Structure 1
């Protein structure tokens, strides 16, 4: 008889045996409801669960015809699109394991991932991805075929996705029950997904996640009772990342439809058309919305800015009472109704007008940004997890939001704090290990199942978790003081409308400095407001007005941190950090050591010339 939360979660009758069975069950339960919505030449097309089931069945049969077997790795190298989902489900129903490859990954790392995983087939988005694979062919003897989404080549090694469908049709004509038999053979402990961590240093490690990891995540999300089959998700996150895969598992468990488009430059435009009820993303997307609206209002000034400031003052006071468990008085309720009609409803309309809540994960979200969205009537539920925990471990509850915390663990997951402050996690979502790396596995995973996350945090009396920083990112100054850079960086991006990235540096130094990059769209908007419409990014970065605004934000941050944490000097780079340069991970986390190494001369200059009392630009 189950005796612990984890045992109860594992033995729940609501939990499918595998992701393949979960998908089959979803198709059987709601065949005629909408499953996916995706952009087309005529706007947006849609497919039902029945249509999805048929499409997946044909592709899965094609994989079986190619000789793909149980737990064989099959890779996907593509941006987020509906074909990614169909390929992933087909791999799952063929009993194989999806290996994810970011489309921006360089050829050398792609070669490593495909070789280390032993991938036998690769789904490639387009000819660009195929060209990358051709250069690696001699190094990948296990790779039998490449299936490309956007073309239909006549090749002995590369086939179009339509070719795979037709191959599947022929296979099913001879073996009608082949896919059904494959789905029935998948067990909870079988490998479902192999995700290579982008890592801020060193070679990526392949995280092995079983079917039981994902079915637990789906069941855990359903137990929170915040989503229903009537919701509509807008999904743009990279499906190569565990955060995106987690949302797929939740969708299969609950059954809501999902609108898919991975083009980041289309998010705002699509939201007004799709009108979703929820959306997930990393903090950067919410920071950009927050900064864009504030910057626009500040530039307009006058009555609009005064009204905006008044409305958010009302909204925050209203939230303070409500979140404390009280009931706002009649005067405050009236003021809030006016603020909502004149300001907040217009902000919500920019995100489609139907958002019930938003979900933030993959990095720390500023409490200031969270409070701003909440005041506008769109609460952000901040969550916490790692690739090694199938992206899910904790999430803020909708009925108990608290800014700056990531909430209690989902049912079945345990959290504790080690003696040195490191967060430890245990539960059904934890990986079975790193692929072909027992040494690396034993470094983070104890024999009794506790995962060392590498994050530092604390737990409050309600069991809610707060992340304070990454263990390896803690900075020790030459004076022996420790600085946690993440809270400083998060605060800066919340108060500086122009900010894109900031990296605080102080290791072995006697004071802290920072490298700052600016958001291209925000910079263009600033330039337009100041009559600088034909000025490029680098020139705008050097403009005294831009420097003054960034400097003011640094001083604001300095007023809110300890004396030894204050940023004494900074430099604004004349370009942003990018994934392609290796300075950011594909999930938009800063590779701190790469940045510090690349810009070592810039950092050194702030210690060679700056005095501790100055803030130079």
Structure 2
């Protein structure tokens, strides 16, 4: 049998491997679909959509939480030949108007709670299919299925889909304006899946959790598309707060997370150990984590593990670490990965020390998600691995990393000028990232080209590197924006992590865990000052944060300061907090301006 060249062909081959195996499930398995049921529903959805006139050249939008029903609907759209894409559930009506207008979709399939917002958008939507109810003017999923005609030729329809058809649209974060719709083809997807599989193997029946929004390319590729091509079993996590329970329920064999999730998992483990009531148990945990930290430190320094340390780690693993991995649900993980943003090497080192194999990856929506990775046993902490097979790279004169190959997007939807700016005539994608490559082909991300800090003395610095060093040193720091462009020294705006704030308040008997109260609490300031000092210790002198202020607010995804994928909106931040930034550079130290603990801490 020839290799599939569309997502539809891949799904049909995968669904036939073991039709009675569970393909998609909820936490606990109370709601599940076998591959047979999944395939049957795909056929029904495709027939119903065909009756609405949906086929090749059409576009269908989805707006819903992570749920079992998403998968047959999404894959059903694909089988009509249409382009299926998801929108972030937090988008306002005016943002939906722009995205729907750019995508050109006539149909939206959504949860009832979003119907009114979709209508307020004013977009020319002809049909709203509602999953969990039938508000006036909408149709239900069962009604959609019932619309399918008996003479609908399902086989001919999905076989007519071509590799260069647009499979999905992925809307970028929009840090500098309206989001751009990245067009990903079926050929892009199949090339990505095969190149990824060659480095991080995926097998039928591998277990994974879906908890990121399906509008995020990381969720679409690592869950939806890898499932279609290789048959992984997915457990949907409708709320991020349920992720710890999902991990224990699933014991995933492959797993990925954005850096903030890894950082929170690390903080939760450390908090659990520090608050273990049994002194003897806590002593054992402290010993094992100490051994793990020594192993991680050696790996961070790229030093060989001594036979003595290896033997001690094996003992710690047998007695404690294996139990700890099982307790958090990552004991059966063959490989894990971190991506979407740089992760502090210390965080990766922590999990390496625990015996959880992580590969840091690099990529972007314009490259169909993952563009570089390496097997965890070949990983070098701080590196994002090597380019995936089949991809070419080169570094432009100004240091920008350029990529060419089968993962490169078709273009930006209805944006020929922006497409031409990103894709040159020779097919090179201008990534906007600065990466370095060593003699063995290992890549290291420096930063976004446009975001590099150049201080008053002309020194180029990566704000992400500085920010990661501070975040790695303090769980209280939820977000940090390094300031220093054209300035004599670096400072920072710091925002407290909302979840850690609640834990801190409970531990210290504080009745109020609001950002305003905690930002003025001397204990919180002192703790963050120690974290800034610890982070500074890992940075060169010119990179170090000399002053900081803790803002009396929490930054929400999709707000003024961060995108829906938690990327900093640096220009809006600089404009919104201009007064706070100027106070950081004033000769007189204001009450809200603090210095690292090794200088002094002002409360």
Residue 9 of structure 2 corresponds to residue 21 of structure 1 = yes
Deviation of 1:117 (Å): 1.5
| Structure-2 change in CA distance of 1:519 and 1:329 (3 Å) | same
Choose which of 551, 554, 557 in structure 2 pairs with 1:579. Answer: 557
Aligned to 2:439, what secondary structure does the other structure show?
A: coil
Which residue is 1:152 aligned to? 134
Provide closer, same or farther for how the CA distance between residues 600 and 28 of structure 1 changes in structure 2, counting only shifts above 3 A. same
Secondary structure of the residue aligned to 1:22 is helix
Tell me what 1:132 maps to. 117
Report SS of the residue matched to 2:419: helix
Q: 3-state DSSP class of the match of 1:207?
A: strand
Counterpart of 2:592 in structure 1 is: none
The equivalences for 1:409-488 within 5 A come to 409-488=387-466
1:96 equivalent in alignment to 2:82: yes
How far does residue 473 in structure 1 lie from its aligned partner after superposition? 0.8
What do residues 312-343 of structure 1 show as CA deviations (whole Å, max 9, x unaligned)? Answer: 34224456779979675367425532354224
Relative to 1, partners in 2 of residues 1:106 and 1:322: Cα closer, same or farther, differing over 3 Å?
closer
**Structure-2 residue corresponding to 1:194:** 169
Q: Deviations over 1:292-330 (max 9, x none)?
A: 222343456976665444323422445677997967536
The one of 19, 44, 50 aligned to 1:31: 19
**Structure 1 residues 299, 602: closer, same or farther in 2, change over 3 A?**
farther
What is the match of residue 291 of structure 2? 314
Tell me the number of residue pairs that the alignment of Structure 1 and Structure 2 aligns. 592
For the pair 1:273 / 2:253, whether they are aligned, the reply is no
SS at match of 1:29: coil
Match of 1:293 in 2: 269
Contact 2:469 2:539 survives alignment (8 Å): no
Instruction: Report SS of the residue matched to 1:239.
Output: coil
Distance 1:347 1:69, change over 3 A: closer
Gaps of 5+ in 1: 1-12
After superposing the two structures, state which structure 1 stretch, 308-317 or 73-82, moved more: 308-317
Alignment map for 1:40-189 (pairs within 5 Å): 44-127=30-113, 129-137=114-122, 140-141=123-124, 143-155=125-137, 158-168=138-148, 171=149, 173-175=150-152, 177=153, 179-189=154-164
Which residue in 2 is equivalent to 1:400? 378
Paired with 2:527 and 2:501, the residues of 1 have a C-alpha distance of: 11
SS at match of 1:385: strand
TM-score for both structures, normalised by structure 2: 0.93
Partner of 2:198: 223
Q: Shift of residue 398 of structure 1?
A: 2.6
2:61–2:84 CA contact under 8 A, matched in 1 = yes
SS in 2 for 1:362: coil
1:225-271 Cα offsets, whole Å, 9 max, x none, are 53222421111111111111111222222212111123101000121
TM-score, normalised to structure 1's length? 0.91
> Matches of 2:90 and 2:44 in 1, distance apart?
29
The equivalent residue for 1:5 is none
Alignment match of 1:529 (pick from 504, 507, 513): 507
After the TM superposition, which of the residue ranges 82-91 and 290-299 deviates more from structure 2?
290-299
SS of match in other structure, 1:399: helix
Partner of residue 578 from structure 2, selected from 576, 600, 607: 600
CA apart distance, 1:354: 2.4
Q: CA deviation at 1:543?
A: 1.3
Kept in 1, the 8 Å contact 2:344–2:468? The answer is yes
Q: For residue 54 of structure 1, give the secondary structure of its aligned residue in structure 2.
A: helix
User: In the aligned structure 2, how far is the partner of 1:610 from the partner of 1:122?
Assistant: 56
- State the SS of the aligned residue for 2:164: coil
Q: Equivalent residue of 1:394, what SS?
A: strand
**How far, CA to CA, are the matches of 1:319 and 1:559 in structure 2?**
18
Task: Give 3-state SS (helix, strand or coil) of 1:542's partner.
Answer: coil
Supply the distance in 1 between the matched residues of 2:182 and 2:324 (Cα, whole angstroms): 43
Contact map agreement 1:79 1:102 (CA 8 A) in 2: no
What is the RMSD computed on CA atoms of the aligned residues? 2.4
Q: For the residues of structure 1 that align with 2:298 and 2:498, how far apart are their CA atoms?
A: 38
Q: Is 2:501–2:513's contact at 8 Å kept on the other side of the alignment?
A: no
Q: CA deviation at 1:45?
A: 2.2
Distance 1:14 1:395 in 2: 27
Q: Is the deviation greater in 333-342 or in 261-270?
A: 333-342
Distance 2:298 2:504 in 1: 36
Instruction: Kindly indicate whether residue 358 of structure 2 is the aligned counterpart of residue 380 of structure 1.
Output: yes
Per-residue CA deviations over 1:575-614 (Å, capped at 9, x if unaligned) read 2111242322111212122222221221122122556977
SS in 1 for 2:382: coil
1:512–1:277 Cα change, 3 Å:
same
Unmatched 5+ stretches in structure 2: 590-594
Could you say what secondary structure the match of 2:139 adopts? strand
Q: Which residue of 2 aligns with 1:213?
A: 188
CA distance in 1, matches of 2:47, 2:531: 57
Query: What CA distance in whole angstroms lies between the structure 2 residues aligned with 1:593 and 1:327?
Result: 44
SS state at 2:183 partner:
strand
